[in-house]
């Protein structure tokens, strides 16, 4: 089994990845990113010595558009492939209209056009909804899946047992090589709209750590060695608890989205400074989008009925 990390060049390089699994002359993708990433996935297939018809499947961890926005185009370009997803994600892949409308409301039409393009529906006959714990049979082995809440209610993780690699989407945070090369491992919890749940998020982090994978593949960005998992888990639990307290503060002080988004950078800079990490301007440029969407997610969570 060979695992190839594909840089989707989403926002910038080393920001979002897809993973190509290659075994016995066949391919299988975890994540596909956006329509604009599909040529990069095609190039990775060709570089691996495969044809488009050699790709058997795509499993998306959830249908946030930086993970699955290009799924419809992917199925068009890889005609032998099926799409595998959480049942709640599968229905949005088949009919993305509500997903697109919701994302457009949050981010605006210009942002949507720039980053995602036109979201194509996936043919229902090529979509497989995965129940919790359901396995995907592929090349004489099995890809194991588990529903993992906390970041999104339609999220799952994929475990490849031969290499003991766990693909975690956004449920085990985001971590950027450009920052890590300067500062050591920094993992940021993702609280983007609309399903952040602190208790469930910590339960997922605990599950990942207990699994003891040899490698972990968050979508943002690239493979993490298993020896780093306990460090990442500690950081994530701390940040998730901080995020829960932020939700309480937003409720208590009746803070609106504009105010939270305006101040989230200062709050996060202080959070990290209190832990001995002082980001420079280049770090903050990379983290800007995450801080912004995390703020939106916290405000959304705070507004939910108790």
41 lies in the same domain as 113? yes
174 lies in the same domain as 250? no
What letters, b where the CB count within 10 A reaches 16 and e where it falls short, cover 7-39? Answer: bbbbeeebbbbbbbbbbeebbbbbbbbbbbbbe
22 lies in the same domain as 118? yes
pTM of the entire predicted model: 0.95
166 lies in the same domain as 256? no
141 lies in the same domain as 246? no
pLDDT digits over 66-112, tens only?
999 999 999 999 999 999 999 999 999 999 998 888 888 777 888 88
125 lies in the same domain as 264? no
In the chain, pLDDT over 90 holds for what percent of residues?
92
190 lies in the same domain as 265? no
Using the 3D structure, point to which of 212, 232, 252 is the last residue of a domain. Answer: 232
User: Containing domain of residue 267, as a range?
Assistant: 240-303
259 lies in the same domain as 285? yes
213 lies in the same domain as 292? no
158 lies in the same domain as 291? no
Using the 3D structure, point to which of 232, 252, 282 is the last residue of a domain. Answer: 232
85 lies in the same domain as 189? yes
Give the count of domains, the chain.
2
- Start-to-end CA span in the chain (Å): 47
Using the 3D structure, point to which of 232, 254, 286 is the last residue of a domain. Answer: 232
Q: What average pLDDT does range 207-212 have in this prediction?
A: 98
Q: What is the DSSP string of 61-124?
A: S---HHHHTTHHHHHHHSTT-EEEE-HHHHHHHH--HHHHHHHHHHH-HHHHHHHT-PPPPPPG
The pLDDT of residue 111: 82
pLDDT digits over 244-295, tens only?
999 999 999 999 999 999 999 999 999 999 999 999 999 999 999 999 999 9
47 lies in the same domain as 179? yes
Tell me the CATH number at 189. Answer: 3.60.15.10
């Amino acid at each position: 089994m060979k695992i190839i990390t594909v840089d989707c060049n989403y926002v910038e390089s080393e920001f979002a990845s897809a993973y190509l699994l290659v075994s016995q002359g066949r391919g299988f993708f975890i994540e596909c990113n956006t329509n604009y990433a599909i040529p990069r996935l095609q190039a990775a297939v060709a570089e691996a010595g495969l044809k488009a018809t050699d790709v058997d499947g795509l499993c998306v961890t959830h249908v946030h558009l930086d993970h699955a926005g290009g799924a419809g185009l992917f199925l068009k370009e890889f005609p032998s492939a099926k799409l595998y997803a959480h049942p709640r994600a599968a229905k949005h892949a088949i009919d993305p209209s509500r997903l697109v409308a919701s994302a457009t409301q949050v981010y605006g039409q210009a942002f949507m056009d720039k980053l995602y393009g036109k979201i194509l529906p996936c043919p229902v006959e090529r979509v497989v909804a995965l129940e919790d714990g359901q396995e995907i049979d592929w090349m004489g082995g099995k890809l194991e899946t588990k529903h993992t809440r906390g970041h999104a209610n339609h999220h799952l993780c994929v475990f490849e047992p031969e290499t003991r690699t766990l693909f975690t989407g956004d449920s085990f945070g985001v971590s950027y090589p450009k920052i890590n090369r300067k500062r050591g491992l920094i993992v940021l919890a993702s609280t983007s709209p609309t399903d952040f749940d602190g208790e469930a998020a910590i339960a997922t982090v605990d599950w990942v750590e207990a699994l003891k994978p040899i490698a972990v593949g968050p979508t943002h960005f690239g493979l993490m060695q298993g020896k780093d998992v306990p460090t990442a888990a500690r950081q994530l639990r701390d940040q998730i608890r901080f995020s829960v307290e932020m939700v309480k503060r937003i409720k208590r002080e009746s803070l609106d989205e504009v105010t939270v988004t305006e101040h989230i950078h200062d709050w996060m800079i202080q959070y990290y400074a209190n832990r001995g990490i002082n980001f420079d301007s280049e770090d903050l440029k990379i983290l800007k989008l995450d801080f912004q969407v995390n703020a939106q997610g916290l405000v959304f969570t705070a507004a939910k009925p108790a």
